[in-house]
Structure 1
Amino acid sequence: MQLHVKETSRFAVSLLRLPLFLLLVGVFSAAMLVPAVYGGVARDLEAARAFLYTAILGLTAFAMIGLAHAGRDPRHGSLGPLMSLLCAFVFLPVLLAIPFYEGLGTTTFLNAYVEMVSAITTTGATIFDDPERLNGTLHLWRALVAWMGGLLMWIAASAILAPLNLGGFEVTARAEPGRTQPRDTSMAAPEVRVRISKVSAVLIPIYVGLTLLLWILLAVGGDRGLVPLCHAMSIMATSGISPVGGLTGTGSGIAGEAVMLLFMLFALSRLTFSTDTVTSDTGGISKDPEFRIGIALVIIVPTVLFVRHFLGAVDASAEDDLVGAGRALWGSAFTVLSFLTTTGFTSANWGDAQAWSGLTTPGLLLMGLAVIGGGVATTAGGVKLLRVFALYLNGLREMERLVHPSSVSGGNPMGRRLQKGGAFIAWIFFMLFALSLAFLTIALTATGVPFETSLVIVVAGLSTTGPLLEVASGTPIALAELGGTAKGIFVAAMVLGRLEMLAIIALLTPDLWRG
């Protein structure tokens, strides 16, 4: 027994010494067995064979490269895992697209690649507007890839981005973005793998447990087949992927949406499920600025929309329709939280808010919520609530100085940090985000796409909120109609939005490679 334990321990240590990207290839290749089994049970044998053969191919390549790499020391210091993340979003979808392409058989490989990049970055945009064009096996694969991509960001936030002061942690850190704290050796090559394994051991059971719980609750609520499973994975990963094209085709109704709303709160703050990051010093979830700002937006924005709709209903002589008013308020609240967390599900009652008042709600509001995004170190994208809070504090402080130029800032050390250096680096990130938005929009417009359409596509990519393509403009945007260059620009926007510009800049810093 002891010999068996020792052998298992040695095998685990050997796996940890492999490059992170190679480990991800092995994990995602093994995950292909899930849709392969499902396709076999559902008698979708062609798709099942595609996933089974690709899984065997991927696992074989993983084993052979792993054996060739055995005994080698990891290189590139702290940048190795960060580079592996970039490769996971750019090159890993090539492998993930193979069974999707072979299983569907009626699309190009480029479309399959874009679909997999959209899934692993938790964007959730789809080339296929009609959900019935994909069978259950392919829908399961899309949701599973997005779910695993969300889990990857959960783990990477604590194990990779936090020590390097990236991904939003630079706002509260004293070191420069892309650099570890002084006298901090936690990102040395051997130790970072130990850190990844420890963080994974803590977060994976939480992530899996929450997904299973939500799946059961949705199934009990009335959803059937793959719908509750795919929606549960999409809520946890904030991908917005649905096998039925949204919540209007579900059977759980408002009860199911209420359960989803509770689980979307996990994307507002890391403190809702973990205290492993620097944001845990704020004093608990009740005092966490990200969670409080998120809840405030969920209350204020639907209230403003409700008042606006109510005034429209008065003109339309519908003010006595209390049921319609309640549905309108609920639809607004759910949709606001969904797009704030970059999930992108629209409530089945979202249309009732417009029908009740006779007014249309502008998609620009949903785009603004998606740009703000959710919490730091969560699966949500966007600018992040902590950066918005830092800019808010700095704005208040500047107004105080206009009235009292000699005043001294109060508050705790973290508050003073957010008002000064934190706000400065948050503003830099916001400017980089705006420049990326402008550059990619111009590039997409240069390919012949209309400006308004280009703006929506780029915002959807940078904020990782793919469902914006369906609701932000007057008519849904069809990605299938874009050219190859335009699709490439959209892929770049999704990768940039998921990994963030500061991380890309850190990878281009020469002195970090010397470490």
Structure 2
Amino acid sequence: MSESVRSVLFVLGIMVASLAAAMLIPALIDLNAGELQSAGAFLWSAAGCGFLGLAIAMAVNTEKRDLTTRAAFLVTAGSWLVLAIIAALPMRFGGHGLTFIDALFEAISGLTTTGATVVTGLDTRPPGFLMWRAILQWIGGIGIIVTAMAIWPLLGVGGMQLFKLESSDNASEKVLPRAAEIAAAISLIYLSLTLICAMAYAFTGMSGFDAIAHAMTTLATGGYSTRDASLGAFTEGGSDVVAMIFMLMAALPFAAYLMMVRGRPAALWRDPQIRGFVTLVVAAIVAMAAFVVAADIYEPAAGIRTAAFNTISVITGTGYATADFGVWGAPATAAFFVLMFAGGCAGSTTCSVKIFRYQIALLAIRQHIISLAHPRAITPLHYGGRPVPPETVYSVLGFLFAFIAIFTLSSAVLGAIGLDTTTALSGAAATLANVGPGLGDIIGPAGTFQPLPDAAKWVMMANMLIGRLEVLTVLILFTPRFWQS
């Protein structure tokens, strides 16, 4: 067995064992609540998966554990799938009425922080089950930050090389040590913001349990709630205002927070993607609020608040809802569909295309138009005060093309399965962009994905994984050259 394979298996083994240890938290919560079947499923899953993970890690343990580029691709792609299968076990066997496909769908949606759910009756579900869903999203949130900041920039995935924190001559060959350094710093910031968010939720009147669960899913921009009414069940205390603040904070690059902690507070606003994101959010909120007020859907104060919350939730891909915006009319439905493809900043917990890729693509188009008008002119492309090499532009454009192609293909497949046009299009968009709820009567903010046929759920599960792994990370695994020695 090669050192590269041993390194991949070692990392996956440690991840499986760590996820198994996390199962003890919902197990204890359910034991305390007297939910013995659910608690037993968590305990047995923790024991079995913990043993499996540690056995694999010990069997392939080696002193040399540097991940090569190829191994890093395998770890980032394989970890989400393996962990999702492990995470689904206690949901399948805990007496929650979920088939294996539904349990796997819920686990993938949780870990990818999509927030699309097949579960109904959340108000009466065991507390450990609800906390497990929140934990999965919280883990997925920190996981995506670390890979987006430490792994993908070194691999040049989708233009992420723009966001290398530090250069390294051997970065393409040795990924793990740098990732560990970044993970430690970012995890502390992520944990701190989660605790602050939980305290803010508790201040608005949420119970301690609800505050912790919602803080986890807010910072992860995941959107799983403990109530069927989502955040709409807590708006009287002002929890929706807290959610808006922390959804926006989670949509900003955590690298900027790291720089602020290290004495560079101006780094937050100097980032062009942050300025672009803020501009988009403000413009979208103003337009949506003006529409709902002009259409007499809400009074001005309620309209601004409701429009702001749901607009931020969709742009950041969180998936919370305080209203069924599917009944606001065709203009609002079309606007929310477009906003699903926005996303936040690179190095955040958000999803979808992300702002910087649109900015790079527009700069490239502008450069091309100038070159057509002035063939001899030299117009270098700069972003954030730094020159953008051609390979980065190709990476961004390649990502955009692949994203659109997969969205088109998955929409067509969902339509062929039998879904109506609105459900097929919005379902493909919501899962590939990791937004959560779609549009329409079935999977809209007031519905769930449970009624969909199993074939559609498989397509959407694939979309969630592909979208969360920045598309190219998955597609490269299907190229023959990747597997050549």
Find out whether 1:119 has 2:110 as its counterpart. Answer: yes
What is the CA–CA distance in structure 1 between the aligned matches of 2:227 and 2:251, rounded to whole Å? 26
- 1:365 alignment partner AA: A
Residue 297 of structure 1: how far off its partner (Å): 1.4
Between the two proteins, the alignment pairs up a number of residues equal to 475
Please tell me the residue identity of whatever aligns with 1:250: F
Look up the match of 1:328: 303
Q: Distance in 1 between matches of 2:409 and 2:24?
A: 40
Give 1:104-115 correspondences, 5 Å limit: 104-115=95-106
Secondary structure at the aligned position of 1:106 is classed as: coil
Aligned ranges 1:32-431 → 2 under 5 Å? 32-71=23-62, 74=65, 77-132=68-123, 134-170=125-161, 184-188=169-173, 191-245=174-228, 246-250=230-234, 253=237, 255-270=238-253, 271-275=255-259, 284-313=267-296, 324-347=299-322, 362-398=332-368, 400=370, 407-409=377-379, 412=382, 417-418=387-388, 422-431=392-401
**Structure 2 match to 1:444:** 414
What are the ranges of 5 or more consecutive residues in structure 2 without an aligned counterpart?
1-5
Q: Matched residue of 1:239: which SS?
A: coil
Deviation at 1:459, TM superposition (A): 0.6
> For 1:343 and 1:471, how far apart are their aligned partners in 2?
20
Contact 1:223/1:251, CA 8 A, preserved across alignment: no
Q: How far apart are residue 32 of structure 1 and its match? A: 0.2
SS at match of 2:155: coil
1:418–1:326 CA distance, 2 compared to 1 (3 A):
farther
CA contact (8 A) 2:363 2:381 kept: no
The whole-number CA distance in structure 2 between the counterparts of 1:235 and 1:400 is 43
- 1:189-246 CA distance string (max 9 Å, x none): xx43322321221111111111111001100111114221111111111111001131
Aligned runs of 1:498-509 on 2, under 5 Å? 498-509=468-479
Any conservation in 2 of the 1:121–1:464 contact (CA below 8 Å)? Answer: yes
Distance 1:471 1:229 in 2: 30
Distance 1:492 1:393 in 2: 31
CA distance 1:383–1:281, change in 2 (3 Å): farther
Paired position in structure 2 for 1:4: none
Q: Deviation at 1:416?
A: 7.2
1:6 is matched with which residue? none
Cα distance 1:66–1:16, how it changes in 2: closer, same or farther (>3 A)? same
8 Å CA contact 1:444, 1:454 repeated in 2: yes
In structure 2, give the amino acid aligned to 1:121. T
Structure 1 range deviating more: 326-335 or 119-128: 326-335
CA contact 2:198–2:211 (8 Å) conserved in 1: yes
Residues 95-143 of structure 1: per-residue CA shift (max 9 Å, x gap): 1111111213422111111110110111111112332353211111011
Distance 1:240 1:497, change over 3 A: same
Name structure 1 gaps, 5 residues minimum. Answer: 1-14, 174-179
Alpha-carbon distance, 1:490 to partner:
1.0
Equivalent-residue separation in structure 1 for 2:150 and 2:383 (angstroms): 25
Structure with greater Cα Rg: 1
AA partner of residue 198 (structure 1): E
Structure 2 Cα separation of the partners of residues 421 and 230 of structure 1: 41
In the aligned structure 2, how far is the partner of 1:343 from the partner of 1:442? Answer: 25
Distance 1:295 1:60, change over 3 A: same
- Per-residue CA deviations over 1:162-194 (Å, capped at 9, x if unaligned) read 111115414678xxxxxx99x831243xx4332
Q: 1:272 to 1:260 in 2, by over 3 A?
A: farther
Query: Distance between the aligned counterparts of 1:18 and 1:401, measured in 2?
Result: 49
Amino acid at match of 1:326: A
Decide whether aligned partners of structure 1 residues 216 and 412 sit closer, same or farther in structure 2, where only a CA change above 3 A counts.
Answer: same
Question: Per-residue deviation at 1:86?
Answer: 1.6
Task: Tell me how far apart the structure 2 counterparts of residues 26 and 141 of structure 1 sit (CA, whole Å).
Answer: 16
Alignment TM-score, normalising by the size of structure 2: 0.87
Counterpart pick for 1:482 among 443, 446, 452: 452
SS of 1:480's partner is coil
Whether the aligned pair in 1 keeps the contact of 2:106 and 2:118 (CA below 8 Å) is yes
Amino acid paired to 1:241: Y
Q: Is the 8 A contact 2:13 2:55 kept in 1?
A: no
Question: How far apart, in 2, do the equivalents of 1:375 and 1:288 lie?
Answer: 10
| Structure 2 contact 158–399 (Cα < 8 Å) conserved | no
Deviations 1:419-474 (Å, cap 9, x if unpaired)?
Answer: 96544432222111111011111122222222321111111111001123578977
Matched residues in 1 for 2:317 and 2:337: separation? 10
Residues 469 and 476 in structure 1, CA contact (< 8 A), matched pair in contact too: no
Contact 2:213–2:225 (8 Å) recurs in 1: yes
* 1:150 and 1:238 in contact (8 A); partners too: yes
Q: 1:338/1:387 Cα in 2 relative to 1: closer, same or farther (>3 Å)?
A: same
Relative to structure 1, the CA distance from residue 399 to residue 452 in structure 2 (aligned partners, 3 Å threshold; closer, same or farther) is same
3-state SS, counterpart of residue 468 of structure 1: coil
SS class of match (2:436) = coil
Structure 1 residue 398: Cα displacement: 4.7
Q: Distance in 2 between matches of 1:215 and 1:73?
A: 40
Paired-residue identity, %:
26
Q: 1:416 to 1:53 in 2, by over 3 A?
A: closer
Q: CA deviation at 1:414?
A: 5.3
